[in-house]
Amino acid sequence: MDMRDFSVSSIQPRLRGTADDFINGINAQMAWAKQHKKPEEVIRIFYGGAFGIVQAIRISPEGTDFLRIVVRDEGGTAHQIVAPVSQCSFMLSLVVPTTEEPEEKVIFGFGEPQKD
């Protein structure tokens, strides 16, 4: 896939957007990406913040203006981050899963918790 064809509006939340607005917006962009990806590809979401860039595995609203983001670091350890929506930055990435990095579903909002 040529990344020039992957034109999607930024996932960066609007300055005055609420946590619910962000969840609704990222769900819409995930649906768009699912329609345009190759069958063997999966979508990963990366969170960029004070802790560097890490893979997001769960994103949910924490009040009106904050997000609770569960991320997995390179070593596989899960961490929780609570941050204002206006200071969160995310990136969608299309990848082909491998045995070292299998597909992992991202949960938005109040979906079913993952079993570790």
CATH classification at residue 90: 2.30.30
Q: Which residue has the higher pLDDT, 6 or 91?
A: 91
Q: What is the pLDDT of residues 26-35, one digit of tens each?
A: 889 999 999 9
Q: How far apart are CA 95 and CA 5, in angstroms?
A: 16
* DSSP state letter for 4: G
Domain count, the chain: 1
Amino acid identity for residue 40 in this structure: E
**Residue 76: C-alpha distances to residues 51, 79, 104, 108 (Å):** 15, 10, 12, 20
- This prediction has a pTM of 0.75
Structural domain boundaries enclosing 73: 41-108
> Is the residue at 18 inside a domain?
no
Cβ(65)–Cβ(19) below 8 Å: yes
> Is the residue at 84 inside a domain?
yes
* pLDDT band per the 50, 70, 90 thresholds, residue 81: very high
> Is the residue at 9 inside a domain?
no
